[in-house]
Structures are given as structure tokens and as C-alpha cells.
A and B are shown apart, each in its own frame.
Chain A
Amino acid sequence: MRQSFFISSVLVGGLVCAEIWISASAQQSPQQIPDAQQAADAQQPTAAQQLGQRLGAQVHSTEGYGGNFVDGFWNPVYHEDSLERGTGPDQGDYAGLPITPEERLHAQIHDPEIMDIPEYQCRPHPSIYGMRGAGGLVRIWQDLDPVTQQQTKIELRLRWQQQHRVIWMEEHEHPPPWAAHTWQGYSVGHWVGDVLEVHTDMLKASYIRRNGLDTDDKATADERFFRYGNYMVHIMMVTDPGVLTEPLIKSNNFVLYPNATMSPYPCQALTEIPRAEGAVPMHLPSQIKAGLEWAIRNHVPIEASYGGAQTMLPAYQDYMKTLPPNPPLSSIEKLTADNESKK
């Protein structure tokens, strides 16, 4: 009995000492962690680095074992380009976009009335625009292989028009060239450290802006997903040689929205405006000038409103000062009125 009591005491004592040592270490750490300068000098990890190391298993990921840090409900934060992304851009507003002259012509011919033809009413945003547009809540989740627990897919669901997207994270056979294209395209992704990189192709012809700037079915996209605390930054890079002279790069921010619920978004196409079958709303060549209203009202030189890669550069502002003044709005309004009467 004495012997068993002694052994038990030693064991308990050992456990208590270990616990005291661990707690002491934890208590000592905040006081004894050197600041960044001292750490650099002493080659000791900083507090942030130590925190990162302790959280490594939760946040950081290795190849094939993706982290779950993009999982959850994400609410878009319209701190960037809120007017364009929310209410939508005006026709004629193409400044700062690397579009070809032919794409600008295509946008000028665009008549917004085309958006209410029955075949367009239930179109979802394509994946190259969905994260940017006024789609609302985004839910992201991962699928894991039941045996290996390796990440096989990351799926996204955007509320508006119930856009459902799959990003393949494992080896998956790419559809052949003759397969049908889809709104969300075919996406493959992989982790580079904490950053999710995604490439998408097989997209339907769709759009990069809601004022007539369309893409064709040759477009591809590359994305990056970054997480900073409860914020996610999404970078979209769209490539379409027939439409863009260089990749169009846009960033979108999201904030984590715990305990969110996503409502369904049913859609049924209706005939909202009586229109003869087969008639397609569009602007004829004589009506293109009516699209200059945005530039004139906002005192943007018309040439600048045409867009092009050069309009993305800060130095372009100096060039703008040399451009001639815009014509009066009255001249454009008369043209618009004449054109409306011809419809």
C-alpha cells in the first residue's frame, strides 16, 4: 500500500509539475517575446510568427491538403466600384478598361432593352462576373474524399440566380473541346501556400460589365482568393484576345458572415414587353452617338470614355487635359429624341 501510494504520488506530482511548467511557459511567453527588431537581431521568432506557427495546422495548407479558410458565408463589401457593381454602369462608360475598339463598338450598339427578352431573364452571372456583380451572399464549402480526407472540390453558390460553381481540386479529366460550355465554366484550383489559385475555361459567351461589354466563348479567367482575418479578397483576371488587349484585372472584397442563411432565388421568364418574335433590340449606327451622354454629363472627354488600355494609366490624366472640350449635351439629346421616335 505504501508502495502504490508512493508511485501514485510520483505520477501525480509529475503531471502537476508538467502542467505548472506548461502554464509557466505560456505566461512567460507574452512577456519574454522580443519585439521585431530584437527578434531580427537575435533571429528569434516574433509574436506574430509564433502565433502563425501555432495556428499553422488550422490555417496554412500543404499541397493537396487545402485549408478550409475560404469556407463559410461571405457578404460582398462594395468598397470598390460600388456604382458599377450595384446599380450598374451607364452606357458609354468604358474608361479604364483594356477593351479593343471593336468591343467598344459592340457596347455602343448594345440596347439595354435586350435584357428583358425572355431568354435573358433567368441568365445567371457568368463566373467571370458573379463575384463582382450585385449577386449578394456567397457560400463556399469544400468536399473531402471520405477515405483520404483530401480536398476534392471547392464549391461556391451565389444567391442571385443561384449560381453554382465547382472548382476541381483533384486530378479531373478536362471536358473535350466539343463539350458544351457553361455559365460557370470549368475550373481547376490549387493551393499556393494560403492562396487559392483557380483557372477557368469552357465559358459561355457572357459579359464583363452590364453595359454591353460582352465576352465570347474563348474567354478564360484566373483567380486568386486571399484571406485576411474575417476578410476575403478575390482577384479576377479575365483574358479574351478578341475583346481585351490585355487581361482585365478586378478585385472584390468580402466579409465573413457567420450564421447567415441563403434564400432561394427562383426565376421564371415572362414576356414583360410585347415585342414581335425574332426582333432583337439594338442601336443602329445612327443611334450610337446617343451613348455619349455619360461622358458629357460627367465631364469626361469623349475619347477617354472610349476606354482602352492607355486609359488605365495615371499618366493618361495629363493627356486628357489636352483633349478638346465635349460638344453640348443638347446636341446629343436631340439625336436621342430623334432616334427614339424611329423605334
Chain B
Amino acid sequence: MSKTVKLEQKVHAKGHEIALKLRERFAAKGIYVVNLIGSPGAGKTALLEAAAKHLGARGGVIEGDLATDNDKRRVEKAGMRAYQINTVGACHLDAAMVRDALNEFSLDGIEFLFIENVGNLVCPASFDIGENIKVAVVSTTEGEDKPAKYPKAMKVASAMVVTKIDLLPYITCNVGKMEADVRNIVPGMPVFRVSSTKDEGVKEFIAWLEEQRGSTVAASV
């Protein structure tokens, strides 16, 4: 005898419960957590180096890479405390990796925690690692159609940062098209045009993050 049972049960990627606990832990400390996702070479680390100039010790970073601690060292040199996760084979960070990192990385004094995900616009989009928001980082040099080609990464992001705008005179890239494409996926998506090396547009991005943190902290009181 065959029997059909209706479930209608939403399934999350493994680690969802850990992520919920992490978010509570961050909220209790008033820490706003930003999960940066973007392809390799999009300029995620450079954006953090630039952010360090504005945030200093108020910012902290957890870096995710398959190998090396290059990014941790870069960000530390720029002025933020950092911890490096090496995923070896994994193409994304998961909540358990972040939880384990916190055993060795103190959150004291940090108001903004950036988690730089493994360079990849596909898998990191599926994983909640305890962040408040995901921010998609896309560079002018990697092709203006990236937002259209990776709709899921855009869909889960709360803002898009377009990096390397100082290179626009030398390349063919229509940033207006990137904006239109991303807003076609997420209407009204905030977009920040940034040059991390020239420190252009970074202040505006940080000011927006301050606003987001302000309303999140206010809401949790």
C-alpha cells in the first residue's frame, strides 16, 4: 500500500542551527557581521584594507581561503585584527568553521566583523554563516555581466560593491548596466562604486554599514 505524506518542510544547508546561534552571539555583543562574497580577484581583500583606514580597531576580519594566510597579513597590516581560515578543499565557509574560528579569535572591541568568504560566486551564496548581511563584491575588470550571470549571489546580497572603478578609463565596462542588472534581480539594491586603492567610495560604503548596524542594534534593544 502506498501512502503520500505532505511535509512542506523548508530545508537549509547544513549548519543553519549553528548560524542562528552565532547570530545571537554577535547581536549580544552589538557586532554587525558582513559576509563578503565575490569571485577570486574581485578585490574583496583590497576593499577590507581600504575599510581598515576608516574603521581601524572597530573592525575585525575572518578570512577564508583554500590556502595561505596572505589575506590575514594584508588586513592586519592595514590596521584591523584578523583570523585566517584555510578550507583546504572547500569552496565556501560554513557556520561551523566560523564558530571554531571564534575559539581562537577574540571579538572584544569589534563593532564590525567582516567575513571574507572563499573566492567563488556560487557556493558561498547558499550558506548562512551567522552574518547580518551578505555583500556581493564585483570588479569592473571581470566583466559587466557578472550580476546577470550569478543571480543567486545577487539575490541573497543586501548590497553590491563595484570595485576597481579607477580602471574604467582603460577597460570596457558599463557600470550602469551592472546596476540595472542587479536591480532587475533585487529592486532598489544599494550599489557602491569603489576604488579601494584610491580610497574612493569607501567612505560611503562604510557610512551605509554604520547605518545598517545602527538600525540593527536599535532593533535588538
Q: Do A and B come from one complex?
A: no
